[in-house]
Structure 1
Amino acid sequence: MIRRRSRRSRPGLPRLARRLGLALLSVPLLYALAALIGSLVPVNASWREPAAGQAVYLVSNGVHTDLILPADAQGLDWRPLLPTRDFADPDRRAQWIAFGMGERRVYLDTPRWRDIRARTLWAAAAGGERVMHVEWVGDPQWHARAIRLRPEEYRRLWAGIRASFALGPDGKLRRIDHPGYGPDDAFYRGLGRASLLNTCNIWAADRLRLAGVRTSLWSPFSQGLEWRYRRAS
């Protein structure tokens, strides 16, 4: 005689589906909670902005954060590392440079938000090659946050950004063959990988941390970083 399985012995598919759905839903919620806590917890908590010093800027479009530094200050000149031939038609009057880090597909394949595809989002989340974006800037104070640095803090920030670039056999920055978003910007190969756990905003916060500046412990979103600094006047 064939015994029939009782209903209790059968897998509860609806229950498993609910549990799986809750587990998937909990991931972004836990990520958002970690981001909130990380943005509130400071590192270099004793740092105070000096009354006078070298100004740098933090600029955000609501998603992505860039650090803006002078082209030449404190004896540190970016121009030999970023020759004008790397850019289509840079503004020769611009005296500031914006630096940002991003995942390769996100940067190179999505010049506009509407160009984002599923594989782009997956690359940004799961991890991909780091790319550095560089842009000459005329007015660094537009929609920016300002930070004054002591000379030694500025030098550490400069060195931290410089160390994010990959070098070729000739010791020069490795420009990527890409037209850029406009005449004033270019892409370069970076070191390491970008992911959901190591976003562009975390990169910016880490550069400030290395400089000794008070910043957020873990801020994957731009809002978790920019709130700490005063608006540029």
Structure 2
Amino acid sequence: MAARDLRRWLLRAALALVALPVLFGLTAWIGSSIPRNAHWQEPGTGVTIMVGDNGVHTEIVMPILAEGHDWRAHFPPADITASARPYTHVAVSWGERTFFLETPTWADFELGNALGAITGGEGLIHVSWYVRPAPSENFRRLRISPEQYRALAANIASDLAPDARSFAGYARHDVFYSARGTYHLGRTCNQWTSDRLAQAGIRTGWWTPLSGGVMKWVPES
């Protein structure tokens, strides 16, 4: 390969490396701006849930007991270390098994695990237990109807794998469970959040690979 051709090839490769993230961000912004259940309105009464966001990853926060659904039947408190606290809510999210289990903090981040998750990996459910969680900019309340809550709870529960196995969490109040589904770039943790909301009839974005695409549909508390 001539030096001129090599320079041309390297330039094209560099442009592609720059263009791909820009293209992904643009399509994520457009996709998350297209609504599902566009005519949904928050009811005056119902069940109050929360949608949590740490800037990268979203979770759905629900009362332990509401509308006849008791999350302790799916997530036994004995599975966490600090099981005796007076918990009121569970926060449920979904992600890729290896990345979840091997990245307790961003200091543990490994590019190989991230790339493996993007190209396809086994699903895992993360459950955190909370005592009266307070609303904030990134922990936003959302009121939904009893029927929508029952649908949401049923859909989330159905994502647990049959005879789900538990895995130790990051702290004393959280735990992981084996789950159905495969994680990949088209079905990220944040897409799971918006899919579960949409399946219950709640307004959210069409394609939400990033957490901001989920939170743009949840009014600030």
TM bucket (normalised to shorter chain) is: over 0.9
* Distance across 1 between alignment mates of 2:151 and 2:100: 26
1:126 aligned partner, one-letter code: T
Q: Corresponding residue for 2:19?
A: 26
* Distance across 2 between alignment mates of 1:218 and 1:74: 29
| Secondary structure of the structure 2 residue equivalent to 1:62 | coil
Deviations 1:35-59 (A, max 9, x none): 1101211110010111111101001
Q: Corresponding residue for 1:4?
A: none
* Distance across 2 between alignment mates of 1:230 and 1:11: 54
* Distance across 2 between alignment mates of 1:160 and 1:220: 19
* Distance across 1 between alignment mates of 2:103 and 2:112: 11
Q: Corresponding residue for 2:75?
A: 82
Q: Corresponding residue for 2:62?
A: 69
Taking structure 2 as the reference length, the TM-score comes to: 0.93
* Distance across 1 between alignment mates of 2:68 and 2:99: 34
Kept in 1: contact 2:188–2:209 (CA 8 A): yes
Kept in 2: contact 1:86–1:175 (CA 8 A): no
* Distance across 1 between alignment mates of 2:171 and 2:9: 50
- The answer for unaligned runs of 5 or more in structure 1 is 1-6, 169-173
* Distance across 2 between alignment mates of 1:114 and 1:37: 31
1:192 and 2:181 are equivalent in the alignment: yes
Q: Corresponding residue for 1:175?
A: 165
Q: Corresponding residue for 1:44?
A: 37
1:54 and 2:47 are equivalent in the alignment: yes
2:28 aligned partner, one-letter code: A
Cα distance change, pair 91–142 in 1 and its aligned pair in 2 (3 A): farther
1:94 and 2:75 are equivalent in the alignment: no
Name whichever of 147-156 and 77-86 sits farther off: 77-86
Percent of aligned positions with the same letter in both sequences?
39
Name whichever of 12-21 and 68-77 sits farther off: 12-21
Deviation >6 Å, runs of 4+: none
| Secondary structure of the structure 2 residue equivalent to 1:47 | coil
Alpha-carbon offset, residue 201 of structure 1: 0.8
Report the RMSD for the aligned CA atoms in angstroms: 1.6
1:151 and 2:141 are equivalent in the alignment: no
Q: Corresponding residue for 2:201?
A: 212
- The answer for unaligned runs of 5 or more in structure 2 is none
Alpha-carbon offset, residue 231 of structure 1: 2.7
* Distance across 1 between alignment mates of 2:180 and 2:53: 22
1:62 aligned partner, one-letter code: G
* Distance across 2 between alignment mates of 1:75 and 1:55: 15
